[in-house]
């Protein structure tokens, strides 16, 4: 028998999205109770975080953060009639 331990988290466990620069490792937290807005560039080393052609359009990260916010609001309104959980390896 193999025992596999996992940890289950719900969207309501999430408090912020951390954006980290792949070049200099600087990071910032975007609180999920606020509008998710990823800066156009790294605030420390100025590496672009947004493709030129997508200026002004929501990034994938922003869409993900905002989708989580939409789900949290749906849960608050008790809809739909199922819960959503994510499984992560046990830490």
**Residue 10 C-beta-side C-alpha neighbours within 13 Å:** 7
String marking each residue 31-60 x if it binds Zn ion according to CB under 5 A: -----------x-xx-x-------------
CB atoms within 10 A of CB 79: 9
20 binds Zn ion (CB under 5 A): no
How far, in Å, CA of 72 to CA of 66, rounded?
10
Instruction: Retrieve residue 16's tokens.
Output: 């912020």
Binding to Zn ion by residue 67, rule CB under 5 A?
Answer: no
CB of 19 to Zn ion, least distance (A): 10
Q: Which residues bind Zn ion (CB under 5 A)?
A: 21, 23-24, 26, 42, 44-45, 47
């Amino acid at each position: 028998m193999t025992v596999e331990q996992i940890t289950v988290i719900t969207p309501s466990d999430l408090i912020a999205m951390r954006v980290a620069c792949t070049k200099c490792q600087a990071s910032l937290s975007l609180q999920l109770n606020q509008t998710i807005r990823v800066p156009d560039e790294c605030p420390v080393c100025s590496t672009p975080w947004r493709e030129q052609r997508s200026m002004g359009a929501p990034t994938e990260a922003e869409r993900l953060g905002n989708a989580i916010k939409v789900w949290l609001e749906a849960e608050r309104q008790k809809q739909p009639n199922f819960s959503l959980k994510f499984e992560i390896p046990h830490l």
